[in-house]
Amino acid sequence: MRKHIYVAYTGGTIGMKPSSSGFVPAAGYLSETLLNMPEFHRKEMPAFTIHEYDHLIDSSDMSPADWQLIADDIANNYAAYDGFIILHGTDTMAYTSSALSFMLEGLTKPVIVTGSQIPLAELRSDGQTNLLNALYIAANYPIPEVTLFFNNKLYRGNRVRKVDADGFDAFDSPNFPALLEAGINIEVNHDVVSVFDSVINSVIDSDVGSEENGKKDSENVKQADANNSSSSSNLKISPVTPQPIGLVSLYPGISADVVKNIIQQPVNALILLSYGVGNAPQNKALLAQLVQAQENGVIVVNCTQCFRGTVNMTGYANGHLLQNTGLISGGDMTPEATLAKLHYLLSKPELSTQERRKLMTRNLRGELTRR
C-alpha cells in the first residue's frame, strides 16, 4: 500500500517568499509551490498531507513552546500516518531536532526534520532535493527516531550542528556518523542505526542511583528493540517548559565576575564551553564560582568549545581542577543536545537535582556515546 506521510510546515526558508525586508514565510506559498512540482506527485512517491502552522516563523523565533506544539502535532496525528516530516528553518533546526528526540519516547515511525537554504520556489533551491528525499526516505527507509536530512545525508537529530551559514552542506554530525547517505544508491549505515526508545522511562523508574548502569542501559536498549518490532504505538510525549539556562564560552582572560553574573538566580543550569578536552584556566575565583553555583543547585555541564571530540577532564591538570568543582562531563554531546536534554530533564518535576545530574551523564536517545 502507498505510504502516507504527514508534513508539518513550521516556517523557515523552504517556504519563504522575497519581500522588501528579505525572505519571509508566507501562508499557503509552500503548498502552492509543491502543487506545481510534478516530481512530488509521481507514483513512486508516497502520498503526503501538508499542515501549515497558523503562525509561520523564521526559526530564529523558535522557543520551547514551539517544540511542544510540534511534538503534540506528531502525537495527535501519529496513528493516521506512516511517517512525519517537519519543515523547519535551518538556524535553530539542530536545537529542535535535539529537543524532539528527547520529547518523543517510544517512536516506531520516522520523524525527519528538514528545510533548505534557498526557498523552494526560487531558482537553484536545495529545498526540492531535501524534501523529495526526506519523503522518499520516510516511506522506504523508515528509521524510527528523530533524524535530520540535509544535502543527501540523514543524521541522528541530537548529533547535528549547523556548520555553514550560506552553503548547501549546512549540517554536520561531528561525533557520530550519518545514518544514511542518498547517493546513486541509498545506503543505510546499519552499524549505527539502533533504537533508544523507551530507555528513559526505565532509567528514571529503576536505574537512578544504581551502580550497574552500563548493564541496565544495554538491557533497556534490547527491550526497546523488542518493543520496536511490534507496530503498536508506545509513543509518549514528555512536555518541556522554557528553562533559564546559562551558556558561557571560556576565552583567555575571562573573569570570575562574568561567570558569577551568568549563574545568578533564576538560572538552574550552566553549559560551560571549555577548551579542548575540557580545560579551564587555573583561576581560583572562577572555579569557586562554579562550586558555589552547584551548591546553589545549578547543574553545571562541561562541553568542549571544539567542533569535534569528547570532554575528558582527566587528561590535564587544568581539567582535573575543573572536575574537582563537581561539574558534569558533557562527553561528546553537542551544546544543542545538552541544552535540549537539560530542558527535558528540568521539565520533569518528579526528578531531584541529583537524579537530573545522573541522567545528564547517561545516553538516553543516542546523544552521548563517549563520556
User: Known binding site for substrate: residues?
Assistant: 59, 90-91
Task: Give residue number: closest CB to ligand ASN.
Answer: 89
- Choosing from 89, 246, 278, 331, the residue that interacts with ligand ASN (CB under 6 A) is 89
15 binds ligand ASN, rule: CB under 6 A: no
Residue span binding ligand ASN (CB under 6 A) among the ranges 56-64, 190-198, 316-324, 350-358: 56-64
Question: Which contiguous run of DSSP H or E holds residue 246?
Answer: strand 245-249
13 binds ligand ASN, rule: CB under 6 A: yes
Q: Which of 13, 92, 114, 338 is the catalytic position?
A: 13
Q: Strand pairing of 180-182 and 153-156?
A: antiparallel
83 vs 127, which CB is nearer to ligand ASN?
A: 127
78 vs 95, which CB is nearer to ligand ASN?
A: 95
- For the record, the C-alpha cell of 208 comes out as 537512578
147 vs 175, which CB is nearer to ligand ASN?
A: 147
Spatial distance between the Cα atoms of 221 and 234, rounded to a whole number of angstroms: 15
151 binds ligand ASN, rule: CB under 6 A: no
Which spans in the chain are helix H? 29-35, 64-77, 93-103, 127-140, 199-202, 213-229, 256-262, 284-295, 317-323, 335-346, 353-360
Spatial distance between the Cα atoms of 266 and 207, rounded to a whole number of angstroms: 29
Minimum CB separation from ligand ASN for residue 347, in Å?
24
> What is the DSSP-derived secondary structure letter of residue 203?
I
- Choosing from 7, 26, 59, 100, the residue that interacts with ligand ASN (CB under 6 A) is 59
Considering all CA atoms of the chain, what is the largest pairwise distance in Å, rounded to the nearest integer?
Answer: 66
- Choosing from 66, 91, 172, 367, the residue that interacts with ligand ASN (CB under 6 A) is 91
Q: Which of 33, 90, 92, 114 is the catalytic position?
A: 90
12 binds ligand ASN, rule: CB under 6 A: yes
Does the annotation count 353 as an active-site position?
no
Spatial distance between the Cα atoms of 176 and 160, rounded to a whole number of angstroms: 9
Collapsing DSSP to helix, strand or coil, 35 comes out as helix
Identify whether the C-beta of residue 267 lies closer than 8 Å to the C-beta of residue 342. Answer: no
Q: Which positions make up the binding site?
A: 59, 90-91
Minimum CB separation from ligand ASN for residue 119, in Å?
9
- Choosing from 46, 58, 132, 370, the residue that interacts with ligand ASN (CB under 6 A) is 58
Identify whether the C-beta of residue 352 lies closer than 8 Å to the C-beta of residue 342. Answer: no
The backbone region for 321, taken as left when phi is positive above 0, alpha when psi lies in -120 to 50, beta otherwise, is alpha
- Choosing from 33, 68, 90, 323, the residue that interacts with ligand ASN (CB under 6 A) is 90
Please report where in the chains the cell 528538514 appears, as a residue.
114
The 10 Å CB-count burial string (b at 16+, else e) for 47-74 is: ebebebbeebbbbeebebebbbbbbebb
- Residues that bind ligand ASN (rule: CB under 6 A) add up to a total of 10
Q: How many C-alpha atoms does 284 have within 13 Å on its Cβ side? A: 0
Give me the 99-138 binding string for ligand ASN, x by CB under 6 A, dash otherwise.
----------------x-x---------------------
144 binds ligand ASN, rule: CB under 6 A: no
Does the annotation count 90 as an active-site position?
yes
Beta pairing partners, 154? 149, 180
- Residues labelled catalytic: 13, 90
Please report, as ranges, the residues that interact with ligand ASN according to CB under 6 A: 12-13, 58-60, 89-91, 115, 117
